[in-house]
A and B are shown apart, each in its own frame.
Chain A
Amino acid sequence: MGYEEPVTDYDKIVENCTCAFCGSNCDDLDCLVKDNHVVAVRHACRLGASKIMEDEDQRLKVPMMRNENGELVEVEWETALDAAAELIANSVRPLFYGWSETSIEAMKPGLELTELVGAVIDNQATICHGPTVQAVQNVGYPLMTLGEVKNRADMVVYTGSNPMNAHPRHLSRYTTFPKGWFRKRGRYDRTLVTWDPKYSDTAKLSDIWIPFEENGDYEFVNAIRAVLKGKKLKKDVIAGIPTEDIYELTEKMKNTQFGALFFGLGLTHTLSKQRNIDIAIQLVQDLNKYTKWVLLPMRGHFNVNGFNIFMSYEMGFPYGVDFCRGYPRYMIGETTTIDLLNRKEADVFLVIAADPGAHFPSGANMHLVDIPVIQIDIHWGPTTELADIVLPGTFIGVETAGTSYRMDSVPLNMKKAIDPPETCREDEWIVTELLNRVKKIKEASK
């Protein structure tokens, strides 16, 4: 990448926009707007900037349905909405998946629709931090806000995550580099530690890198807990790490003033799943006997946490909530999306602001071949290749205002910077329309 001239040709600056990419929800972006297009973004990372300055070629602009040859063709909004409502109203086990890249406002009618038809509602937590939520239910949640870490933390640990790739501004805005109230010199006052089998881009920046072996996370954290409790380690090498290094690290972790542990999908996607998180949370609990330690999962989408909070508040369960019996039920491994698809249970799949085509294992996606798929999204993605009805939504945080929850559960208002394309509709409007149409069909059939 060569040097690029700063963009000077713009009509106005929309200040303090909230980024709609990762769970860091940076709310200091300045969008440079010209002719109702964002021509440049200030302060955003590569990920945020690339999303906000979207690819216009692949933008979904009109509702589409498959014709008899299996090609997507443009249809009227009325036709597409009626067809989608018909499918949902006549289904036995509909599954509404997604929601993490839309606003809380759109989830509200979505939940009402779910209750009305007795569907299963689920979000991306089911394939990323689902085990984290289970572990939190098992052993607790020693949580903080990111502002506390900025002002107080003198040791920051990342494990099973690579924020330099997935949350690029996490270190520079919240945890490691900024100057805080008690950390006047910023980076120099903090120790950055990475536990990762790979020499990841975050590990390259770290003061200490602990390369435990693949699938060795549980054993390694357990060893630290044993040392914390005054036990002597019997093996010379544990999970690929010499024991004297574990003693040294434990001593360092005990002697910090405020430590923060951030963990990502490296822990939840391996075989021990939620047990990895259990032990990480228990480690933080043990460390609190000596000094202050907190932890936070590195949430991926900007509103994946919002859905979990919204559902917990409304229905008492965080994700994978089943209404088929008329009341909310939640059973991991039974009412969660991947399991429903693996068992070929769902008969209509509504996907809103998510991309199962790109992110589900093909073994699970195979069921989408046999059932109708309704997609509400902004770009033509892998899921569009499997979708029967496509409803173009708008871009939350750029074209539509909305509420989202940051990874540390702080709700933020997302500003509107430009107007959406004329033929697109807000997610909230689409879901409300579906709800009203399904209501009409249900009433007519009574």
Chain B
Amino acid sequence: MTYIDKPSISNVIKFDELNVAKVDQLKVMLNTGTDIYQGACKKRGSTLKDEYRKVAGVAYMDPKDMAKLGVGNWDSVLVKSDWGAVVVYSAHSRDAPHEGMIFIPKGPWANVIVSNETYCCSDPTYKGIEATVEKSDKEVLLMADLMKEVYQKYTKKVKEVD
């Protein structure tokens, strides 16, 4: 096939880095945008599959930031901003170093935490959002489950019947 299941990421995190102080919560700047793996998976249409979660439900972080939090590749992290909170995988960024910045490819996961404020310019603020990252033990949700949990469009009616 012309694609791979998830981005190939080299594991370069050293947990015993000397100058890194461990923290529980990390203040970061969140950027979202496209990424070749996300684009290929989304437009092929494989959005219900585990593959989409692996390419869009992931926060690409600087290895030093990951060492500070004590997370490795494909561990769950909770990213919170003023607009919401979502559990995504953490992974080593191919564009490192960029300490204090995380990148989540656009998709249902990033949507939960980006700002819908357009400042009357039609365009929501998808980049440069203040957020915090912390370790999480929750599993990253698949697309359909995430949409159900976030929007609850058709689950509400079922609850009313009960």
- Interface residues, chain A, with chain B CB atoms under 8 Å away: 1, 4, 21, 46-47, 49-51, 53-55, 57-59, 66, 69-71, 126-128, 130-131, 134, 162, 164-166, 168, 197-201, 203, 214-215, 265-266, 268-271, 273-274, 300, 320, 332-334, 336-339, 342, 355, 357-366, 368-369, 378-382, 385-386
State whether A382 touches B108 (Cβ < 8 A).
Answer: yes
Q: How far is the CB of A382 from chain B (nearest CB, A)?
A: 5
* B35-83, CB < 8 A from A: 35-36, 39-48, 83
State whether B147 touches A385 (Cβ < 8 A).
Answer: yes
Given contacts A70-B157, A358-B42, contact A130 B122 (CB under 8 A): yes
State whether A270 touches B125 (Cβ < 8 A).
Answer: yes
B123 within 8 A of A: yes
State whether A165 touches B48 (Cβ < 8 A).
Answer: no
State whether A270 touches B127 (Cβ < 8 A).
Answer: yes
B95, B106, B143, B148: which has the most chain A beta carbons within 10 Å? B95
State whether B83 touches A361 (Cβ < 8 A).
Answer: yes
Q: How far is the CB of B31 from chain A (nearest CB, A)?
A: 8
Given contacts A336-B118, A339-B122, A379-B47, contact A214 B128 (CB under 8 A): yes
Contact residue among A71, A203, A269, A359 (Cβ-Cβ distance under 8 Å from B125): A269
Contact residue among B46, B98, B106, B120 (Cβ-Cβ distance under 8 Å from A333): B120
Q: How far is the CB of A169 from chain B (nearest CB, A)?
A: 12
B26 within 8 A of A: no
Q: A49 to B103, alpha carbons, bound, how many Å?
A: 25
State whether A201 touches B45 (Cβ < 8 A).
Answer: no
Q: How far is the CB of A135 from chain B (nearest CB, A)?
A: 10
Q: 8 closest pairs, A vs B, by CB?
A: A70-B154, A333-B120, A363-B116, A379-B45, A336-B122, A361-B116, A385-B147, A50-B40
Q: A364 to B111, alpha carbons, bound, how many Å?
A: 9
Q: How far is the CB of B20 from chain A (nearest CB, A)?
A: 21
State whether A385 touches B158 (Cβ < 8 A).
Answer: no
Q: How many of chain B's residues have a CB under 8 angstroms from any CB in A?
A: 60
Q: A380 to B116, alpha carbons, bound, how many Å?
A: 24
Q: A385 to B103, alpha carbons, bound, how many Å?
A: 25
State whether B115 touches A385 (Cβ < 8 A).
Answer: no
B31, B83, B118, B125: which has the most chain A beta carbons within 10 Å? B118
B94 within 8 A of A: yes
State whether B44 touches A338 (Cβ < 8 A).
Answer: no
Q: A203 to B116, alpha carbons, bound, how many Å?
A: 29
Contact residue among B103, B108, B128 (Cβ-Cβ distance under 8 Å from A215): B128
State whether A332 touches B120 (Cβ < 8 A).
Answer: yes
CB neighbours of B2 from chain A (8 A):
46, 49-50, 53
Q: A363 to B83, alpha carbons, bound, how many Å?
A: 8
Contact residue among A49, A127, A380 (Cβ-Cβ distance under 8 Å from B124): A127
CB neighbours of B3 from chain A (8 A):
46, 50
State whether B35 touches A165 (Cβ < 8 A).
Answer: yes
Given contacts A379-B47, A381-B47, contact A361 B114 (CB under 8 A): yes
State whether B151 touches A368 (Cβ < 8 A).
Answer: yes
State whether B151 touches A386 (Cβ < 8 A).
Answer: yes
* B122-162, CB < 8 A from A: 122-128, 143-144, 147-148, 150-155, 157-158
Of chain B, the residue at the smallest CB distance from A381 is B47
State whether B47 touches A358 (Cβ < 8 A).
Answer: yes
Of chain B, the residue at the smallest CB distance from A71 is B154
Given contacts A274-B121, A339-B122, contact A164 B36 (CB under 8 A): yes
State whether B112 touches A362 (Cβ < 8 A).
Answer: yes
- Interface residues, chain B, with chain A CB atoms under 8 Å away: 1-4, 29, 31, 33-36, 39-48, 83-84, 94-98, 101, 103, 106-108, 111-112, 114-116, 118-128, 143-144, 147-148, 150-155, 157-158
Q: A361 to B115, alpha carbons, bound, how many Å?
A: 6
Q: A46 to B107, alpha carbons, bound, how many Å?
A: 19
Q: How far is the CB of B104 from chain A (nearest CB, A)?
A: 13
Q: How far is the CB of A247 from chain B (nearest CB, A)?
A: 26
Contact residue among A1, A128, A162, A334 (Cβ-Cβ distance under 8 Å from B123): A128
State whether B84 touches A265 (Cβ < 8 A).
Answer: no
CB neighbours of A66 from chain B (8 A):
154
CB neighbours of B150 from chain A (8 A):
362
State whether A199 touches B47 (Cβ < 8 A).
Answer: no
Q: How far is the CB of A166 from chain B (nearest CB, A)?
A: 5
State whether B118 touches A338 (Cβ < 8 A).
Answer: yes
CB neighbours of A54 from chain B (8 A):
44-45
Q: A305 to B38, alpha carbons, bound, how many Å?
A: 22
State whether A269 touches B47 (Cβ < 8 A).
Answer: no
CB neighbours of B101 from chain A (8 A):
197-198, 214
Q: How far is the CB of B83 from chain A (nearest CB, A)?
A: 6
State whether A362 touches B94 (Cβ < 8 A).
Answer: no
Given contacts A50-B40, A270-B128, contact A320 B123 (CB under 8 A): no
CB neighbours of B147 from chain A (8 A):
357, 382, 385-386
Q: A386 to B148, alpha carbons, bound, how many Å?
A: 9
CB neighbours of B94 from chain A (8 A):
201
Contact residue among A49, A320, A332, A359 (Cβ-Cβ distance under 8 Å from B106): A359
Of chain A, the residue at the smallest CB distance from B123 is A130
21 example contacts (A-B, Cβ-Cβ < 8 A) are as follows A50-B44, A51-B44, A59-B45, A134-B121, A165-B34, A201-B94, A201-B95, A203-B95, A214-B128, A273-B119, A274-B121, A333-B121, A338-B122, A338-B123, A342-B116, A358-B42, A360-B116, A361-B111, A366-B151, A369-B153, A385-B151
State whether B36 touches A168 (Cβ < 8 A).
Answer: yes
Of chain A, the residue at the smallest CB distance from B115 is A361
Q: A380 to B44, alpha carbons, bound, how many Å?
A: 11
